[in-house]
Copies of this chain bind each other. A is one copy, B any other.
Amino acid sequence: MSDIRPDETRLAFEPAEADDARLVFVGRVRSPWTTRADCPKNLRAAREAGVGARVEIDEAFRPALASLEVGSWIFLLSWLHMARRDLAMQMPRHAERPTSTFALRSPVRPNPIGLHLVRLLAVEQDGAVLAIDAIDLLDGTPIIDIKPYFASVDSPPEA
């Protein structure tokens, strides 16, 4: 079991031992980020870095991309395969106080799924590769879903 920082707490259950449902990886991110120290901590920081990224889609899933519109905004859902899953309270570096997992966007969560709103810049190599404007993911991170962004349901209605 991994160590925890002062003020962090563990869940009473190890999520990695569960088998409530199973995922298929549909592709992988190709990004400039190969170490956690390099990787931007969120998409705003990734955009400020000014470098794009790509998503390689496995052959079996390429037919599911056909109707995506270049220039549109899409959600990528990632599987943050390097993250532990057992923390209830976390003390992010530079944070002032411990914060509970579901109030953070930290990769550490019971199901380490990342949510990333990115712009689709191009579809390359006969639909095998998506070029996107930026990503806050390590090179090689698995992708588990792609969804179109709709402002009508994906932004607070009062905004």
A9-51 vs B, CB cutoff 8 Å, 1 = contact: the mask equals: 1011101101111111110000000000000001110010000
Q: Is A159 located at the chain interface by the 8 A CB criterion?
A: yes
Q: Which residues of chain B are within 8 angstroms of A20 by Cβ–Cβ distance?
A: 22-25, 79, 142
Q: Are A75 and B23 in contact (CB under 8 A)?
A: no
Q: Is A54 located at the chain interface by the 8 A CB criterion?
A: no
A136-159 vs B, CB cutoff 8 Å, 1 = contact: the mask equals: 000000101111111111111101
Quickly give the copy total for this chain.
2
How far apart are the CA atoms of A64 and B75 in the complex, in Å? 24
Interface residues of A (CB under 8 A from B): 9, 11-13, 15-16, 18-26, 42-44, 47, 59-61, 63-69, 73-75, 77, 79, 81, 85, 87-89, 99-105, 109-111, 113, 115, 117, 119, 142, 144-157, 159
Which residue of chain B has its CB nearest to the CB of A153? B43
How far apart are the CA atoms of A105 and B12 in the complex, in Å? 34
Shortest CB-to-CB span from A62 to chain B, Å, is: 9
Q: 23 pairs across A/B with beta carbons < 8 Å?
A: A9-B63, A11-B64, A13-B60, A19-B22, A20-B79, A23-B111, A44-B152, A47-B157, A61-B102, A64-B87, A64-B109, A65-B103, A66-B89, A67-B99, A67-B103, A73-B156, A105-B147, A113-B113, A115-B147, A117-B153, A117-B156, A151-B159, A154-B154
